[in-house]
Chains A and B, each alone.
Chain A
Amino acid sequence: MTHKITASHIGRVIWSEFKPALLASFWICLLAFPIMTLSINPTNQSFKFSLDRMPYLALGTFVLSILWRFFLKRRAFIGITKAVHQSEGLPEDLRKGPKPSWLTVVKASRYRRQGIYVLLAIMAILPFISSPYTVNVMVTALIYVTLGLGLNVVVGVSGLLNLGYIAFYAIGAYTYGLLNHYFGLSFWVCLPLGGLTATLMGLLLGFPVIRLSGDYLAIVTLSFGEITRLVLNNLTVTRGPRGISYIQPAGFFGIDLNGAPKEFLVNYLRVDPAMDINKIFTYFIILCLVIVTIIFVFRLENSRLGRAWLAMREDEVACQAMGINRTRAKLTAFALGSTWAGLAGVVFASQITFINPASFSFLGSILVLSIVVLGGMGSIPGVILGAIVLSALPEQLRFFSQYRMLLFGALMVLMMVFRPGGLIQSTREVYIHKTNGNGKGDGNGTARLEALTGAPKPEATGERP
């Protein structure tokens, strides 16, 4: 049985969607009528009425609407076909295992390790051949990777919706900012302190929300984020909205990186003379932090604690019935998730050397949450990709100037409709079943049994990414 989309299918879909698309276009025209037809001239306080732009709008929305409906139909159709295939050939399919996605192919590849080395080498060379602007964007992107991975622990793995995550980022940044401003403490002292403070604040937030979940939790965390920002905005010690300026960048054994080392880099490695070498150093710090985060988070997810988090996300009643201490699981999720925000905050403060409460608005929390959702909840490579896309994309879209955020929003909507699981979906442990020599199971399940319970792990192919 083959399921292919033919031209007649397409024709039929377009025909059946003609009326709704027309309706949608009409509705949009009606909605946008005032802003599209009237233009106000503030200098002589007059306005102009013109219908010139309406036909374009109508035609544009009509075509988009048809396309939109067509892709939705196609998606549903593919979903059904898959399901039909599965139900038709279930035993066969099960024996073969799932069709490997490109990700599994990459992961199972023999060259995986080499691939990681090459990637690391590229990452190491990159700042020396880029412009100062690019390095800055890259540092920001990596900071968001750290934030995304941290929030992923809370939202993706543990299923606790945290809408005030940026507060912990602020706490980390202010820990460094304040300690540096008042006591002259260095970056390296403040990095662990910032992480620790954020962890403690995470615990502090965790206690009142132990009994909450879902919407209520979201509201409490949202308030926490706003309270933090308002406190920073109103305390004298934090210098209010003026913020803290002249924060020292991270030091490198007390050597002035813009002196002799810069001369060397510019002369011999042809680094851009406009480059602030401190920025390159910050880049390497955040790169190391990201690597540590990835290793740590990966370990964590596959640990006992990680399994407790998964259970808590999946079903709170069953989680308790399994003998998991829900209170502890919740608190550790909050605390450990916040740690990374704190660390990222310290790096952020050293990167831009100036912080004020406006840098930590609610929008920041939403951006990090979008990174997790867009990348793929619970999936580490997904979150990394999501962070890079969401922090670099707005930069790339600068070309569209004022329509930047509009386009950004549209892209997000499209993403969520066509790939609701995120860019790289989190995969569960997959076990390929071992079969007998002739390639067929013996039917009563013993062959499968061996595969599942037998030798330590030869059959386990893809684990969680």
Chain B
Amino acid sequence: MTKTMLELKGVRTAYGNIEALKGVDLHINEGEIIALLGANGAGKTTTLASITGLVPPKSGTITFEGEDIRGARTENLVKKGLIMVPEGRHIFPGLTVLENLKMGAYVLKDQSGIKKDLEYIFNLFPILATRSKQSGGTLSGGEQQMLAISRSLMGKPRMLLLDEPSLGLAPIVIRDIFDTIRKINTENGTTILLVEQNANLALMLAHRAYIMTTGLITLSGTASEFLNDENVRKAYLGG
């Protein structure tokens, strides 16, 4: 039942001489939504970069579905179903929405499957259907975030890594996007690792959470524990 999907043990990552991760341990079970919280510079994004191989870790182990993936190439991880939505959206501004989505299915070859996925996406975010021939750069911030998430879904992820999906968005749009993230999780059983600044919202969504401070996991527990914990509330949730 609770199969471990992704596990990090003692992961250390450095940018030159600056060690950003000082031995991170965390595990994510299949079908879970995990929130990774922490202040700026705590190492949240670096953790994601280490997982996806964008910044190879110095030491430690990373296993995805029982397979060692430390130092694996990003593109091979995408093929395995470990897909990241990068921070700041990173959509392709010069390509149309449709082309953006098709690019998400780059590693897949099943054309009819891609068509079905497109249909699914346009049901999930109808606004993307109406914007499908607009170039990605002309979308609003919220729409771009929707596009970024949709694009990663086109690659049929087993596990999705979301880096700050709420960045720079209006509260009402954030709620929409978070609702969709939950929907993706419940409908497809996609495991989700969510990196967020907006701790309150992330905890409402997540099953469990980890809190990072200066390159280490300092706290872990279920989301409800965190929400009810007086100390955590004071330190991370603003009272």
Query: What residues make up the interface of A, taking CB atoms closer than 8 Å to B?
Result: 91, 94, 97, 304, 307-308, 310-311, 313-315, 317-318, 320-325, 428-431, 444-445, 448-449, 452-453
Contact = CB atoms under 8 A, between A and B. Distances in A.
Nearest to A325: B75
A429 B96 contact: yes
A311 B92 contact: yes
A448 B95 contact: no
B185 interface: no
Given A453-B119, A453-B122, A321 B106 contact: no
B75 A307 contact: no
A97 B134 CA distance: 10
A314 B93 contact: yes
Given A307-B106, A311-B106, A448-B122, 7 more contacts: A320-B74, A322-B106, A428-B95, A428-B99, A445-B122, A449-B123, A452-B98
Interface in B146-201: 151-152, 155
B137 to A, nearest CB: 9
B9 interface: no
Interface in B58-99: 73-79, 83-86, 90-96, 98-99
9 closest A-B pairs by beta carbon, nearest first, are A323-B78, A314-B92, A318-B90, A323-B107, A445-B126, A323-B75, A320-B74, A445-B129, A322-B106
Contact of B155 (A307, A311, A323): A323
Nearest to A90: B130
Q: B-side binding surface: helix, strand, loop or mixed?
A: helix
A288 B131 CA distance: 41
Contacts of A308: 106
A322 B155 contact: yes
Contacts of A97: 133
B139 interface: no
Given A321-B84, A449-B122, A315 B92 contact: yes
Contacts of A444: 126
A428 B84 CA distance: 26
B104 A322 contact: yes
B149 to A, nearest CB: 12
B115 interface: yes
Interface in B91-131: 91-96, 98-99, 102-104, 106-107, 115-116, 118-119, 122-123, 126, 129-130
A97 B96 CA distance: 14
